[in-house]
Amino acid sequence: MLLVAAGAAVGAPLRYLVDRAVQARHGGPFPWGTLTVNVSGSGLLGLLAALPAGQGLMALAGFGFCGALTTYSTFGYETLRLAEDGIRLQAVLNAVISITAGLGAAYCGMALAEFL
C-alpha cells in the first residue's frame, strides 16, 4: 500500500500540473488537459502491464502513479458539462476520442514492451 500511495503522491499533482499547462495553451471548453493525461497514462500502463514488471513496480508505477495520473471521473464530468452547455458535438468527440485514443495508447504501450 505504501508503494501505491507513493506513486499516487506523484501522479495526482502531475495530473493537475499537466492539465493546467495544456489547457492554458488551448483555449476553449474542450478538455485537452484531461485527454492528455488519460491517453499518456493509458500508454504507460499498457507498457508496464506488458513488461515483466514485478509487483512492486506495478504497485508504484501502475496502480499508484498511473491510477492517480488518469481520471475517469473528470472525463465523465467534463463530457457531461460540454453536453449541458449545448456543445454536444464536442461532448461526443471527447467521448469517442478519449476512449479510442486511450485504448490505442494502451495497445501501443503493450506493443512497445515487445521490443524492449
CB neighbours of 57 closer than 8 A, spacing ≥ 6?
48
Hey, how many other C-beta atoms are within 10 angstroms of the C-beta on 66?
Answer: 25
- Shortest CA distance to 51 belongs to which of 96, 9, 93, 110? 110
Query: Is 79 a known ligand-binding residue?
Result: no
Does the annotation flag 70 for ligand binding?
Answer: yes
User: Quick one: cell of 3?
Assistant: 508503494
**In whole angstroms, what is the distance from residue 80 CA to residue 87 CA?**
10
- Summarize the annotated binding site for Na(+) as residue ranges: 67, 70
- Summarize the annotated binding site as residue ranges: 67, 70
